[in-house]
């Protein structure tokens, strides 16, 4: 069941980000708008578009989240492999995405200190200035 969902979610997410999907959505809105005078802008006429867009939005949330979860996991696996394969990076960073937000903030502050910042979440932008000067 999970594999079927992933296959369908991937295909729908891929298609929904393409111009034909936008054109279809635009066509639906235009048809709905043009039919307004025919149905005298009735409550039923309004309810149709409201219900349709709510259903599509509700379903798309799950499809987009699934795609983002897959993409995030793939990127994380690739980064972990780079850390593992290279001699410079520390292997302790593999898997830190499972830490709490507070633990991640502590690691980030410590890394900023090691890179020449003061570690207080960006009040000293010396590392940013050094990056810009290298460009």
Half-sphere exposure in the Cβ direction for 14 (13 Å, CA): 8
| pLDDT tens profile 77-125 | 888 888 888 887 777 888 888 888 888 888 888 877 877 665 555 555 6
The pTM for the full model equals 0.61
pLDDT score of 128 more than 70:
no
Query: Three-state SS across 38-76?
Result: CCCCCHHHHHHHHHHHHHHHHHHHHHHHHHHHHHHHHHH
Residue 35 pLDDT level (bands cut at 50, 70, 90)? very high
């Amino acid at each position: 069941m999970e594999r079927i969902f992933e296959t369908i979610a991937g295909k729908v997410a891929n298609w929904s980000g393409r111009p034909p999907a936008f054109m279809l959505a635009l066509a639906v809105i235009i048809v709905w708008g043009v039919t307004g005078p025919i149905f005298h802008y009735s409550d039923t006429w309004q309810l149709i578009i409201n219900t349709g867009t709510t259903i599509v939005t509700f379903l798309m949330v799950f499809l987009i989240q699934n795609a983002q979860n897959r993409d995030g996991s793939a990127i994380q696996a690739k980064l972990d492999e780079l850390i593992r394969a290279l001699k410079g990076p520390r292997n302790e960073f593999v898997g830190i995405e499972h830490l709490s937000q507070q633990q991640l903030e502590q690691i980030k502050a410590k890394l900023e200190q090691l890179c020449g910042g003061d570690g207080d979440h960006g009040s000293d932008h010396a590392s940013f200035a050094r990056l810009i000067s290298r460009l």
